[in-house]
Amino acid sequence: MIARPMGNNKDLARLIELCKKWLYSSKGEDNPCREIFRYAIKERDQEAWEAIEELYRPLVYRWIRQEGPFRDSRDLEEVVQDAFFRFWRYYTLDKFRRSGSLGEVLAYLRTCVVSAVMEKKRELHRRERIEIPWSEDFGVSRGPGHVPPDDSEQDLEATAVWQIVQSHCRDRREELLARLTLVGKLKAREIVRLYPDEFPSVEEVYRLRRNLFKRLRRDIRLKRMAQKRL
């Protein structure tokens, strides 16, 4: 349920109710819906942002499915959150003032959805091609007669490896770090620059990564996979 604004936000509460009626019945004017965006963008009203996310989440879900379904519900939810984040970050007050209707505002939201979907698809493709740095991080070196597996074997192995990596991640932050390090191939400084709230310092990245890799090195399944690569 949308949290009801309290105190001086009675106007916002009324706008939310009017907007819900318009969204569900398409009757009346869309001005109340557009006014909620004004609250969020100009006033930086947190309750207005929360209302926007809940009001338009079903629409965002529909757009995502049109662009390409995601089998994993976690991937779908990440795309939803990324789309709203992109809108919050890039849809400025100047853009809002230049828009002439709610349709133009939602058109920009849809471009954010498309961008989020494309980014997630690229990430999933990289994840499918994930290559664990065996010799550097797991203490296993490849022998001189090593023959790399073919594409189908790589895909199967990558999926299995990622599932093992996920099983060792203790929280969402560790899983994000694993994805950025092993899939995105990002360095510690790049991770801190892109995700300062999650990883405030390079030292924190090193600490978390070191602890995660210790657990991975002890995993017998990864050791067996590494031995097959020799």
Q: 169-189 burial, b if ≥16 CB within 10 A, otherwise e? A: beeeebbbbbbbbbbbebebe
pLDDT, one tens digit per residue, over 156-214 is 456 778 888 888 899 888 988 888 888 777 888 888 888 888 899 988 998 898 888 88
pLDDT, one tens digit per residue, over 93-130 is 999 999 888 889 999 999 999 888 888 887 776 655 54
Integer Cα distance of 162 and 168 in angstroms: 10
